[in-house]
Chain A
Amino acid sequence: MSPTSGRLNLLLSHEAMLAILLAVTLLILSLLSDSFFSTANLLNQVRLTAEIGLITLAMTLVIITGGIDLSVGSIAGLSAIMLGLLWQKAGLPLPLAAVTSLGIAVLAGLGNGVIITRFRVPPLIATLATMAFYRGLAEGFSQSRSVRGYPEGFYILGQGEVLGLPTQVWILIVAAVLVGTALSATAFGRTVFAIGANETAARFSSLPVDRVKLIVYGLSGFMSGLSGLLLVSRVTTTRSDMGMGWELDAITAVVLGGASIFGGRGTVLGSVLALALIQCLKSGLSLAGVKADGTIVLIGLFLIGAVLLGNLMDRIAAR
């Protein structure tokens, strides 16, 4: 976050440790399984992780401001449902339906932001409530019926390739670069950090605190909506329970990536590395014959271990 001070710090930084951990994991997995370390498999892994990945990017900003957004999975589900309904029931052209459902997702995110900034409801409570509400809207509108049979062209988002790489890879790279740059190199990003570190001081320094928070929650809504669309395109169907539990996956990645749940600290690079590590564990272990659910256990242990280690290092550094 702050300009780096010294090579030792860089080496001991959370991101560096994650990168080393990731490299070791990749090495072990490639030894365990021949098929793992193939370009095709790696690209496929990115495809699978893109949806959570986009949300993780926005969640990184949310958590750095000292907030949290539990409604991301519900917004993803809502935008998926709206896409299906607007296209099939309302007869909108698919691109228009997609843009509209993205717009609804942004509105849902801004709704969170308004509740948090205007009514001063703690983010945990605000998004806990909208998590149920947005999911309820998705269920109500869909009446639990799925929408299928999208035109072939739509599947390029979730299954196709652009310039030889899966579409999601491009989307994720562009989004990560944009969000990462905005966070580390713009006045907006500086404000995000300042809000998380000391919101009152940020306000007293004439920074646009409420506006930036609105943007952050709006972005979270947008990313969730986009993830919903990617998922629909990937699995070729729309269901109202889409995106359930995504909030926990995203928060886990962000915290594992070194962000403080109390705000003021975190990086996009750390979140992305943590996300990659989680996905490697998930897929690699399943390739190596470990059951998929076993990896969830490992991720939980990783999360607690990472924070424990971080606390320990902080205490040593403070000495």
Chain B
Amino acid sequence: MTAIPHRSSQGRIGRALVGHGQVLVVLGAIIALFIGVSFVNARFLSPANLTTIFSGNAYIAVAAIGMTMVIITGHIDVSVGALIGVLATVAGTLAVAGWPMWLVWLAPLVIGVAVNAAAGWLVAYAHIPSIVLTLGLLSILKGGLIVVTGGEWITDLPPGFFLAQRDVFGLPLPLVVMTVLTLAAAWWMAHFRFGRTIYAVGSNLEAARAIGISVERTTVGVFALHGLFAGISAVLFATQLTTIQSTVPPNLELVIITACVIGGVSILGGVGTVIGAALATIFFATITSAMIFTNVSAYWLRAVIGGLILITVLADVARRRGQA
């Protein structure tokens, strides 16, 4: 009658893999894609293309770190794409205005934290459901951005601005930032008090309260952190191209949320890792690139990704039923 599988000899690694089925599936899919597509077209593995896949999408993975935390706490944020658009424009505007570069890069982080801390405060203390609040915030940021900028693109950016085009240790900076932040966040969430609190609140609100966790403070903290990652994401996004469009990147929030879900973060809260979300981001980028290199019509791209998302979600449901 005890439903516990016996401690097997598979040891630490084996046990570490238990409960990360989704992450493994995504990782396996990425590897399979790389092997398969490189047979069809060897240029798929060219440094230029690898840079596009890993570095060009790093800003999505960085934003997904914060989103992962928000979803694990049991909330959602549909405004993050708009926030990234706004913060990118802020960075560009300050750069053109001739501010010192370190301030230009820092400002989006500070503003991101401030905006989302306020959002978190309204969710936690004014009891506005996060989906409603961020829906409203999305409108405000999206409309506000165009009203303020008039929709004009920012060009003539100073040469020192393009942080994302730099290399560190011979690797593109966005790739390094993405990797370091993802691993650091994963470690922090697993081994530190506040990281653990996030899981506790999302897993069982009442139990968290009963052992004295302040659910409200946790919520504000998580949203503020999410704002920090959105700020970093915005800097990477703003500095990788020579112009900033001053509009909200379409559907960015949905790409980020989807990456989290495909990466194994439960929309019901309490479950997931930032590593899964980062892998899912790379997975999307790989598919996009793979379709180009295998001459599949780009117009079917979204259908393929959408279909894959559907299959992953249904497979996840099937897997959980099997466990129950």
User: Hey, which bits of chain A sit against chain B, CB under 8 A?
Assistant: 68, 70, 115, 119-122, 124-126, 128-137, 139-140, 142-144, 244, 248, 251-252, 255, 261-262, 291, 293-304, 307-308, 311
Contacts and interface: CB of A to CB of B under 8 A. Distances in A.
Given A129-B313, A293-B146, A303-B135, A144 B254 contact: no
Contacts of B76: 124
A300 B138 contact: yes
Contacts of A261: 129, 131-132
Contacts of B261: 125, 128
B254 to A, nearest CB: 7
B133 interface: yes
B102 interface: no
Given A139-B299, A294-B143, A304-B137, A129 B132 contact: no
Interface string B249-293: 011001001100100000110000000000000000000000000
B32 interface: no
Contacts of B303: 133, 136-137, 139-140
Given A130-B310, A136-B306, A144-B299, A293 B131 contact: no
Interface of B: 76, 78, 122, 126-129, 131-133, 135-144, 146-147, 250-251, 254, 257-258, 261, 267-268, 297, 299-307, 309-310, 313-314, 317
A319 B144 CA distance: 38
Q: Classify the secondary structure of A's interface with B.
A: helix
A131 B268 CA distance: 20
A184 to B, nearest CB: 24
Given A136-B304, A252-B135, A255-B132, 19 more contacts: A70-B254, A122-B268, A125-B261, A129-B310, A133-B309, A139-B301, A139-B302, A139-B303, A262-B129, A291-B147, A295-B143, A297-B140, A297-B144, A299-B139, A300-B139, A300-B140, A303-B139, A304-B122, A304-B128
B127 A311 contact: yes
Contact of B137 (A70, A129, A300): A300
B306 A303 contact: no
Contacts of B314: 115, 119, 121
B306 A129 contact: yes
A293 B317 contact: no
